[in-house]
Structure 1
Amino acid sequence: MKRRYAVGIDLGGTNVRAALGDDRGNVLARVEEKTERRKGPEGIVKQLVRMVLTVTSELGLERIEGVGVASAGTLDPERRVIKVFANLPFNEIPIVDPLERELKVPVKLLNDCSTAVVGEKTFGAGRDFENLVYITISTGIGGGVYVDGHLLFGKDGNAHEVGHMTIDMEGRLLCGCGKRGHWEAYCSGENIPNYARLLLHGREKEFEESMLSKIVGGD
C-alpha cells in the first residue's frame, strides 16, 4: 500500500514545532523554533511556511496530503482563524487561507489539545477508551475531550477550553484572555509566579525566613 504523508504543526505561545509524518504514525523529520511574536500574524504565517518547507525538503512538498495546524487559543472554525490567542500580543490570526495560498495544499486548523487527544485515541494510551480527557499545562492550560467515542467541540468549537473555566469567583488574577478568575490565570506556566505572589501577600516576612526563599535566592 502506498504510504501517505502530512505535516503537523504545533503552534504555542512560546514555541512552534513542525513535523513530517506518515499514515503509520512515524515521524520522519521535525523542526522547532521560538514563536515569532514581534512581526504580527503575518510573521507567524511566514514562519510556518518556512518550517513546512524545511521538513518536506527531502520528500518534496508535492507529495504531502496536507498540513494540520494544532494551535493554542480560542478558534473560529467557520472563518478558520485563531480568534483569541491569550499568550500572544495580538488577537486574531488568519491561519488556514494564507497557508493554503502559499503552500498549495489543504490546511486544517484544530485546537492543540483536541489534536493531542486524537493522537492518544489513535496511537496512544486512549485507544481502548470511548471517554477520554487530555489536559496540558504549558504556557497556558488546555484540554481535549472524547465523549462516547466522539471528539467534543460544542456549539462554537471551543467546549474543551478548560483553562478558561472560572475557578475564583473573586477574580483576583487576570487571565491572558482579558478575563479574571480563570484556571489559566493561576496554574499555567506563564502565571504560576503570579499565583505564588498572591498566596504570599501579607506573608512576605514569613517567606523571607523560609527554606524555599533560600533555595530560590529570595525571588
Structure 2
Amino acid sequence: MSYADITFCDQNPIKRWLQQRRLADAIQLTAHFQGINTVLDFGAGNGELSKRLINFFPKAHIICYEPTFDLMAEAQKNTEKFQQIRFVSDMGAVSKESVDLLYCLEVFEHLPVNEAEKAFSLIRSVLRNSGIAIMGVPIEVYLPALYKGIFRMTRRFGDFDATPGNVLRATVGFPPQSRPINEIATGWWYHPHHLGFDYRRFRALLKSQHLMILKQSASPIPIFGAWINPEIYFVVQKVNKIPPLF
C-alpha cells in the first residue's frame, strides 16, 4: 500500500479532505512571504507538497528531500511533470545555510529521540540565519486522541494505536511513552504510529533547538485551537540565540 493510499487517496472522504487541507493550511501560513529563492520539503513523502509549492513560489528552487527509497520513487512518479523540483535523498547535497523556507510536515511524530536530534541538526544546517520553517505535527492528546482512536479502532482494533487503554491514556493527556519502533531506511528508525506523540513536548523541544516560535496555528479550524483540531503548525525562525521570555 502506497503513502497516497493511506493519506490523499484514503477510502474515507473525511480523511482525504483533512490530508488535502493540511497541505493547503501549511502553505497558506507562508504564501505571503517575499524574496523566497529556495524552498525545502523535508521528509516529503510522495511529493504532493513539493508539487503544490510550485504554484505559490514559481520562481523559487524547490527541493524535495525524502531519505527512503520507496517514498522517493513515489514522489518522483507523482511529480514527474514538474521539472522545477530537485530530488535529494541525502541532505549532504543541500548547501549549508541555503534554504529560505523549509516545510517539515508529519515527520517528527515518527522520529525517536536520536533521529529527531539528527533531523533538527540537518534543518538548522541548511536554513539560512533568520530562515523560516513550518513544522506540522498531529495532535494526539485530549479530544483529538479520542476521535482518532475511535476511527482507528474501527479499522484495526487491537493495534498499538487502536486499543481502548492507549486511546484513553492519550485522551486524558497522558499518552503511552513506550512506542513500537521499526527501521524505515538504513540507519533511520521510526515510530509507525502517531499515538504516543505529544505536541506539547515537541513545542518545548523547538525552543531548545535555536528555533524561535513566531506563530502556532491549528488545522483545519484555527479558531478552535489544539483542543479540537487534529493538526498543529509551528512557524519557527532560525536564530543564533533564543531571547529570554522575561
TM-score by length of 2: 0.28
Q: Which has the higher strand share?
A: 1
Q: Which has the higher helix share?
A: 2
Larger radius of gyration: 1
TM-score by length of 1: 0.31
